[in-house]
Amino acid sequence: MSADKKKIVVFDFDGTLYSGDSLIDFCLFYYQKKPLRIWYVIIQALSFVRWKTRRITTTQFKSIFVGFLRADSEAEILRIAHLFWSKNRKFKVQILNEFYRWKKEDVVLTIVSASPYLFLQPIAAQLGADVILATALIPAKNRHLILENCRCEIKIKRLTDYFGAYELLAAYSDNEDDIPLLKMAHAGYFVKDEKYLAI
């Protein structure tokens, strides 16, 4: 193995480190802070039905879902994200312990997530992640858009784009879509509840 290859360890976020869907939890918290936007739940519900009936893609659904942010600035989203993460500690203890165990090693500890980068940024910093690769929010007229959802093969692409050549020592995820990523690692672990099973 070439010495110039970064040694990295990858963790998915939702369902892996975090117990649940952080974007949904963040959305509900956002409505608490901006209650006049609660009407947008109707649009989210209708788009959910369209997604479940395969009339729109996952990326299109998520792009509609994040409409609750409206045209808020990055600074405003980050402000509320910091408040959210100061109150939410729904982490899986065993997986978080693995994260901290790797933190002591000479590796680049990386979170790769389909959730939006902007609101994961504060918690990634708190946890001590070296790198976070997540879904980008694109500012548009009166809203934010998602053009590329960081999941499945996009995660592998983002890792390659960011690191170039790298050695994937370990990877953890609860999502079956990430099995190709887990199989790339020297040690790939499928997370179920508080347990992680080698694949």
Structure tokens at 36: 């006049």
Alpha carbons within 13 angstroms on the beta-carbon side of residue 118 total 19
Query: What distance lies between CA 167 and its chain's CA centroid?
Result: 21
Secondary structure of the chain: what % helix, strand, coil (to 5)?
50, 25, 30
Q: Fill in the DSSP letter of residue 37.
A: G
Structure tokens at 97: 């312990």
Write down the pLDDT at residue 3: 53
- Per-residue confidence in pLDDT tens, the chain, 199 aa: 445 789 999 999 999 999 999 999 999 999 999 999 999 999 999 999 999 999 999 999 999 999 999 999 999 999 999 999 998 789 999 999 999 999 999 999 999 999 999 999 999 999 999 999 999 999 988 899 998 999 889 999 999 999 999 999 999 999 999 999 999 999 999 999 888 999 9
Write down the pLDDT at residue 2: 47
Write down the pLDDT at residue 142: 87
Cβ atoms within 10 Å of 93's Cβ, excluding its own: 9
pTM attached to this predicted model: 0.92
- b/e sequence 135-150, b meaning 16+ C-beta within 10 Å: bebeeeeebbbbeebb
CA distances from 2 to 161, 165, 167, 188, 198 (A): 18, 9, 9, 21, 26
Domains of the chain: 6-198 (3.40.50.1000)
Question: What mean pLDDT is reported for the chain?
Answer: 94
- b/e sequence 165-190, b meaning 16+ C-beta within 10 Å: ebebbbbbbbbeebeebbeebeebbb
Write down the pLDDT at residue 10: 98
Q: Are 16 and 172 in contact (CB under 8 A)?
A: yes
Distance of alpha carbon 187 from alpha carbon 161, whole angstroms: 22
Structure tokens at 154: 């996009």
Residues pairing with 38 in the sheet? none
CB under 8 Å to 128, separation ≥6 — which residues? Answer: 100, 103, 109
Write down the pLDDT at residue 1: 42
CA distances from 100 to 37, 38, 191 (A): 38, 37, 16
